[in-house]
Structure 1
Amino acid sequence: MASFNPEQTTGPALAVAQAPAAPASVADEPLFIDIVKRARQLKAQTEAYRAHLAKTDQAAAASPLKGFDAFAGRIGDLAALDMKGHVTLKERGAVDDLKCILRGISQDLPEKLAAVRAATTIKAQDLALRDMVYLLNDNVEVITAPPQPAA
């Protein structure tokens, strides 16, 4: 009791580790709404290509896909929008994973498209299109999922 001083604070505050706050969602912003809309449309078209290929002999030579050049152009546009999303988040100082994922998707979309073009059999075309479906689905889910703090 002899060392008690009523004007003295109780001592240094204890450090409490706090979990980083989750970043704000971008799912309602026009750029990201557009990305999600386009990715969903392209995913549906990719699934339609796969459904068409499923009706043919898997060992047969790859066949031209109806409207593929226009599809390829829309994939290129989506890849550019994903990169724009990455740059937008980077300029904001975002530290979450979304900016990195968008950059990766922007780089992977042209590679998946090249794999579809390079396929020599129906089976190879279908596998390349399957990979494209997964990537397009990821494109939607990373934007629409609730934001998570940086890892």
Structure 2
Amino acid sequence: MPMSCGLLIAAALLVTDPSVADAHAGHAAAATAPAAPPSVATEPLFANIVSRSETLRAIVDGWMAAPAAPDAGEFAAFKAQTVELAARDMEGHVDLRERGVDGDLKCILKGIAEDMPLKVAAVEGAADDAARQSALSELRYLLNDNVEVITSPPTPAA
């Protein structure tokens, strides 16, 4: 069945309409752009890391608000929990490495795992309240970073 001239002209105008062309280009670019890696935040290991980090961060917040250093027993329990968290961070790093994930999260988890004992030791060895507050602040930042790097939406590789 032959197409009427009006329909043929309308089709040609649609194809040459800049807004239609832009929309098509946007769809084509989206189709060829690299996809964001899947989020791991809901996976049990990573959700556990987030939960532990939030709990320890709350403890650090309490210590930062208190005028005195934590008692030895409380700090020993906290320190043991940070050792477990650092081990889970390293486990997360290894898991991502074994999956072949190429991204920042893998490296950040390894860095946090290695840095956690150093930050805890700085709190433990603080000579005075000012040094303790500074060390607690750095530890809090590290714990917060642990939460944020896992829960932030992943971005596609450039």
Range into which the TM-score falls when normalised by the shorter chain: 0.7 to 0.9
Deviation sequence 1:62-111 (CA, Å, 0-9, x none): x4535000000001100000000000000000011100000000011111
- CA RMSD, 1 decimal: 1.7
Query: With structure 2 as the length reference, what TM-score do the two structures score?
Result: 0.76
Q: Percent identity?
A: 54
Contact 1:96 1:148 in 2 (8 A): no
Aligned partner of 2:71 in structure 1 is 65
Query: Unaligned stretches of 5+ in structure 2?
Result: 1-28
Higher Rg: 2
Query: With structure 1 as the length reference, what TM-score do the two structures score?
Result: 0.79
User: Is residue 41 of structure 2 the alignment partner of residue 27 of structure 1?
Assistant: yes
Structure 1 residues 65 and 126, CA gap change in structure 2 (3 angstroms): farther
Large movers: runs of 4+ above 3 Å:
63-66
Aligned partner of 1:127 in structure 2 is 134
Bigger RCO of structures 1 and 2 (CA < 8 A, at least 6 apart) = 1
User: Is residue 146 of structure 2 the alignment partner of residue 139 of structure 1?
Assistant: yes
Query: Unaligned stretches of 5+ in structure 1?
Result: 1-15, 57-62
Specify the code of the residue in structure 2 equivalent to 1:88: D
Q: Distance in 1 between matches of 2:84 and 2:151?
A: 20
**Alignment of structure 1 residues 111-122 onto 2, 5 Å:** 111-122=118-129
Q: Distance in 2 between matches of 1:133 and 1:51?
A: 12
